[in-house]
Amino acid sequence: MNAKGMNRLYTAIITVLAMLLLQACKSSSQKEKVAADTFLNDVKDTVSTVSGATGTPSAQPADKGHDVHPVTLAPIVSAKDVEFASAVTNNALNKVNTGKMALEKSTNSRVKSFATMLVNDHTKLGDEMNQIAKDKKITLPALSGMAEMRQANRLAMKQGNDFDKAFLDAMMFDEKKALDICENGSKTCKDASLKAFAVKSLPVLKMHLDSAQAVRGSLQ
């Protein structure tokens, strides 16, 4: 093949290679474009899912668990009924706490049996009142009042038979107070659930008072 023919062959080869290279570049560019479009579409779909529609982020609801200004619902019962529920709860908290103290400090079997009954019954009554309060949107005290705390402190400093007598004296006083609260509630509560609770509690409180008097009378 002469020089002229060789030149034509080289030119043809170079032309073919150039076309192949151009096609490869176009193909690579097209793949990149497809990948980019797919990525952008995925982003748009994610934004639409989060915002709920058009890609514009929508306002998210506040985290109620961390709301520094929670909404307090007003009770749906009268102020007198709220007062009754709070007084019953305060009395029950004191009985449960003092009864548990007696179970730890006393060695007298009759005193411990009475304390066990006191804790069990007032825990049950407290749970029932908590359910009523939840239904009626009543906020109940979580701790005993100051007078009850002072009583507990005085009992905590006593030991042996002195503790037993002081404990039973305190419980007789508290059961009489609880009876007065529930007798009054059974007559004056406007809410049917609270009135029923007061009526139901009276026999239990009377039994506690009788038991405390009997055990106290057995102590020397």
Same domain? 35 vs 141: no
Same domain? 165 vs 209: yes
pLDDT value, residue 185: 96
Which has the closest alpha carbon to 165: 93, 105, 91?
Answer: 105
pLDDT value, residue 146: 84
Boundary-marking domain end, from 54, 71, 99 = 54
Q: What is the spatial distance between Cα 37 and Cα 32, in angstroms, rounded to a whole number?
A: 9
CATH code of the domain in which 158 resides: 1.20.1260.10
Same domain? 49 vs 100: no
pLDDT value, residue 22: 52
Same domain? 85 vs 174: yes
Residue length of the chain: 220
Q: Which residue has the tokens 């709220």?
A: 82
- Are 177 and 144 within 8 A, CB to CB? no
- Token couple for 127: 């749970």
Which has the closest alpha carbon to 98: 42, 54, 148?
Answer: 148
Which has the closest alpha carbon to 112: 215, 15, 5?
Answer: 215
Q: What is the spatial distance between Cα 177 and Cα 11, in angstroms, rounded to a whole number?
A: 116
Structural domain total, the chain: 2
Q: Is residue 126 part of a domain?
A: yes
- Are 87 and 205 within 8 A, CB to CB? no
Query: What is the domain range of residue 43?
Result: 1-54
- Are 106 and 115 within 8 A, CB to CB? yes
Q: Is residue 62 part of a domain?
A: no
Same domain? 106 vs 160: yes
Q: What is the spatial distance between Cα 101 and Cα 112, in angstroms, rounded to a whole number?
A: 10
Same domain? 111 vs 46: no
pLDDT value, residue 142: 84
Same domain? 24 vs 89: no
Same domain? 194 vs 150: yes
pLDDT value, residue 205: 97
Query: For the chain (length 220 residues), average pLDDT per consecutive 10?
Result: 55 54 50 45 44 44 46 68 93 94 96 97 94 91 83 93 96 95 95 95 97 93
Sign of the alpha-carbon dihedral angle for 136, 171, 145, 67 = negative
- Are 147 and 188 within 8 A, CB to CB? no
